[in-house]
């Protein structure tokens, strides 16, 4: 009904969600559906490759006719990790342009760096929130309208800068120096001109 009349911008995005944990898979699926995304959920990297037609099997669904706009995958899965899945997708000439988001319940800086360097669009720390999904959806929609690769690379670098919330979460808090405490206390007051 409503999807028949939708414009290109309001087009339903198709997201491939990959997570070995049923509960996490259902949560991601629900968040994506709330954000008006079509979702295909699979339980492993191997199943994702089968769905995308990268497994070399003739029985697989294949990528022809599919339009996957985003792949969201857990990092830690048995058999094939999300990082290994990312590498296979980015090495495929047919699929390398699809943004891949890695999710993990652990904040391991080396892991985050490795995934971003390999071409991940984002690295999200679980639990994934609705605001994360909406932000990703907006990025993908903007990316369909214009090439945003340069902007996303800048965002990734900013996300790991010392002032980003991700970097703040990964680094211990340092006590403020006595000089900085004093400068905050001695701010000039504005005179009342009434």
Instruction: Please tell us whether the domain made up of 2-185 is placed in CATH 3.40.50.2300.
Output: yes
Cβ(15)–Cβ(140) below 8 Å: no
Calpha distance 13→31 (Å, rounded): 13
What does the H/E/C string look like for 125-190? ECCCCHHHHHHHHHHHHHHHHCCCHHHHHHHHHHHCCCCCHHHHHHCCCCCCCHHHHHHHHCCCCC
Token pair in block for residue 157: 């670098």
The DSSP call for residue 84 is: H
Per-residue pLDDT of the chain (194 residues; tens, 9 = 90+): 443 333 334 468 999 999 999 999 999 999 999 999 999 999 999 999 999 988 775 444 544 456 899 999 999 999 999 999 999 999 999 899 999 999 999 999 999 999 999 999 999 999 999 999 999 988 888 876 654 454 444 444 444 444 444 444 444 444 444 444 444 444 444 455 55
Query: Could you tell me the residue ranges of all domains in the chain?
Result: 2-185
Neighbours of 39 (CB within 10 A): 19
Q: How does strand 37-42 pair with strand 70-74?
A: unpaired
CB 118 within 8 A of CB 73: no
Do the Cβ atoms of 107 and 123 come closer than 8 Å? Answer: no
Closest CA to 66 of 81, 82, 80, 50: 50
Look at residue 116 and give its three-state secondary structure. helix
Question: Residue 185 corresponds to which tokens in the numbers above?
Answer: 């206390």
Q: For residue 87, give the nearest of 43, 49, 53, 128 by alpha carbon.
A: 49
């Amino acid at each position: 009904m409503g999807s028949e009349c939708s414009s290109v911008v309001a087009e339903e995005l198709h997201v491939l969600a990959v997570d070995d944990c049923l509960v996490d898979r259902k949560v991601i699926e629900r968040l994506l559906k709330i954000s008006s995304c079509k979702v295909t959920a699979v339980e492993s990297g191997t199943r994702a490759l089968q769905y995308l037609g990268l497994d070399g099997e003739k029985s697989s669904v294949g990528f022809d006719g599919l339009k996957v706009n985003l792949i969201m995958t857990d990092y830690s899965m048995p058999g094939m990790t999300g990082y290994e899945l990312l590498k296979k997708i980015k090495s495929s000439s047919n699929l390398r342009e699809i943004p891949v988001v890695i999710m993990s319940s652990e904040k391991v800086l080396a892991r985050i760096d490795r995934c971003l360097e390999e071409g991940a669009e984002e690295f999200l720390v679980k639990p994934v929130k609705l605001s994360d999904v909406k932000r990703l959806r907006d990025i993908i929609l903007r990316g369909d309208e214009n090439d945003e690769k340069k902007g996303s690379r800048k965002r990734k670098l900013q996300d790991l800068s010392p002032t980003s919330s991700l970097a703040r979460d990964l680094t211990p808090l340092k006590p403020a120096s006595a000089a900085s405490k004093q400068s905050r206390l001695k701010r000039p007051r504005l005179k009342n001109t009434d």
